[in-house]
Amino acid sequence: ELKVEQNPLFLSMQEGKNYTIYCNYSTTSDRLYWYRQDPGKSLESLFVLLSNGAVKQEGRLMASLDTKARLSTLHITAAVHDLSATYFCAASLDTPLVFGKGTRLSVIA
């Protein structure tokens, strides 16, 4: 059974700092997703990672995938307040999609 674990679950970071969110999954997965959710809103897709060593970047966010370690990371560079949100990773082998519990990120001045 595929299980997905994120950590930390809560993260308070200062503006301008760097930090990494970790996403571990328990069995082989053929794809890994990262999503963002603002309070009271729907989910927005950030990245889809399909192969070992995949790295994708969008603005201050960079996601990577290590299928051998069963680990994906979401790295935040020079955080700004607008990045405050809950971030989810999700993994799948065939289907269905299994989500982590989410990391609630607060960026403070």
Partner 1 sequence: EAQVTQNPRYLITVTGKKLTVTCSQNMNHEYMSWYRQDPGLGLRQIYYSMNVEVTDKGDVPEGYKVSRKEKRNFPLILESPSPNQTSLYFCASSFDTDTQYFGPGTRLTVL
Closest CA to 16 of 62, 73, 60, 46: 60
Size of the site for partner 1 (CB under 8 A): 21
**19 touches partner 1 by CB under 8 A:** no
Nearest residue (CB) to partner 1, 44 versus 82: 44
Question: Where does this chain touch partner 1 (CB under 8 A) — which range of 21-29, 54-62, 72-80, 94-102?
Answer: 94-102
**What does the radius of gyration of the chain's CA atoms come to, in whole angstroms?**
13
Question: Where does this chain touch partner 1 (CB under 8 A) — which range of 14-22, 27-35, 58-66, 70-78?
Answer: 27-35
**Pair 22, 7: CB distance under 8 Å:** yes
Per-residue contact flags (x/-) with partner 1 for residues 35 to 74, judged by CB under 8 A: ------xxxxx--x-x------------------------
Contacting positions for partner 1 (CB under 8 A): 30-31, 33, 41-45, 48, 50, 88, 90, 92, 95-102
